[in-house]
């Protein structure tokens, strides 16, 4: 019996919510709108060394465009095509005298979706030849997105709206700290809310240590986000940590330095006022549950496992 060993590879396509891929393949470079650089996600423009690296791959025959996410272009009403991503690859092709380039022709459901994709396409982990975005690039993209969403001519976003943009840019820890990007945007574009001093986990710990000084009292530093006094299971886990430290000495003093993240300044006083009542409720529930467990009629729950692996629990 003969086996058909020929394999068919499907070219890779870009994927992004709000983007539709119409075609993947070669187009004439002459059809691409002539601009020095079209990607606003690149604050400092083209990086010459990166263009040269792509040219080296083209010369050596190691540039295999269909194995990687291609540059994206948008069809214009005048018949031309606007480059959305792939400036370095386009300029490398031009530098080597190429007349065609492998691309994806796409459509976006909004201008802001186009800008999000321009930035996220340049994440550090994408691409076989990385031309990663920098913190400056990320801030620049965010500013263009905010303007595309209507925050121009004196209309300012709230702090939370800035956080929404920062989160959607999908920033990795290798690229930048989200809180730093948020603070830089506040400086450049402003917000409609009272200014809030932001902390990362590290800077909050330093600030708490400075306030705590040389005190022998045990302490923790805790970040909150919710204005209603409830922050998922954060408080519960912290309470169990505190109780564990008090196990041999119930009277052991303990201080918690709490701070809020991603919250408009006007809401922080309300959040602070609600937190003590919420903590009191947790303490009361722990006492109630302890009495249940200490009851002579108490029966421990039984943990049962549902099969999840092939062959599990087979007789």
Tokens of 103: 């691309």
Residue 300 and residue 151: Cα distance in Å, rounded? 57
Domain 12-109 top-level CATH class? alpha beta
Q: List residues bridging with 73 in a β-sheet.
A: 83, 105
pLDDT digits 0-9 by tens, 240-289: 999 999 999 999 999 999 998 877 788 889 999 999 999 999 999 999 99
Q: Which helix (H) or strand (E) holds 89?
A: helix 87-95
Phi/psi class of residue 25: alpha, beta or left (left: φ > 0; alpha: ψ in -120 to 50)? left
Number of residues in the chain: 315
Domain definitions of the chain by residue range: 12-109, 201-293
Cα 220 from chain centroid (whole Å): 27
- pLDDT of 195-238, one tens digit each? 777 788 888 999 999 999 999 999 999 998 888 877 778 899 99
* Closest among 20, 22, 24, 4 to 12, alpha carbons compared: 24
The residues that bridge with 260 in the sheet, in sequence order, are 224
How does pLDDT run across 127-144, given as a tens digit for each residue? 445 567 888 889 999 999
**Cα–Cα distances in angstroms (integers) from residue 105 to residues 23, 87, 294, in the given order:** 5, 15, 68
- The string of pLDDT tens digits covering residues 48-65 is 777 888 888 889 888 888
């Amino acid at each position: 019996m003969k086996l058909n060993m020929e394999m068919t590879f499907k070219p890779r396509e870009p994927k992004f919510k709000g983007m539709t891929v119409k075609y993947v393949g070669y187009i004439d470079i002459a059809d691409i709108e002539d601009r020095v650089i079209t990607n606003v996600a690149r604050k400092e423009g083209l990086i010459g060394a990166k263009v040269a690296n792509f040219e080296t791959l083209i010369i050596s025959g190691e540039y295999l465009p269909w194995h990687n996410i291609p540059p994206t272009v948008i069809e214009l009403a005048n018949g031309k095509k606007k480059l959305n991503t792939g400036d370095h690859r386009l300029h490398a092709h031009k530098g080597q005298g190429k007349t065609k380039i492998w691309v994806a022709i796409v459509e976006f459901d909004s201008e802001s979706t186009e800008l999000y994709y321009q930035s996220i396409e340049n994440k550090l982990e994408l691409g076989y030849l990385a031309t990663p975005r920098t913190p400056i690039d990320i801030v620049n993209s965010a500013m263009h997105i905010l303007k595309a969403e209507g925050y121009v001519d004196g209309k300012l976003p709230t702090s939370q709206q800035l956080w929404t943009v920062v989160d959607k840019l999908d920033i990795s820890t290798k690229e930048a700290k989200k809180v730093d990007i948020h603070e830089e945007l506040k400086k450049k574009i402003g917000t409609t809310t009272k200014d809030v001093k932001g902390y990362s986990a590290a800077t909050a710990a330093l600030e708490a240590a400075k306030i705590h000084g040389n005190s022998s009292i045990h302490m923790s530093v805790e970040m909150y986000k919710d204005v209603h006094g409830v922050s998922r299971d954060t408080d519960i886990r912290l309470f169990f940590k505190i109780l564990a430290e008090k196990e041999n000495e119930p009277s052991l003093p303990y201080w918690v330095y709490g701070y809020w993240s991603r919250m408009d300044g006007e809401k922080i006083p309300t959040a602070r006022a609600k937190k003590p009542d919420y903590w009191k409720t947790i303490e009361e529930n722990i006492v109630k549950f302890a009495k249940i467990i200490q009851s002579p009629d108490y029966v421990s729950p039984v943990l049962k496992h549902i099969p999840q692996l092939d062959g599990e629990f087979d007789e």
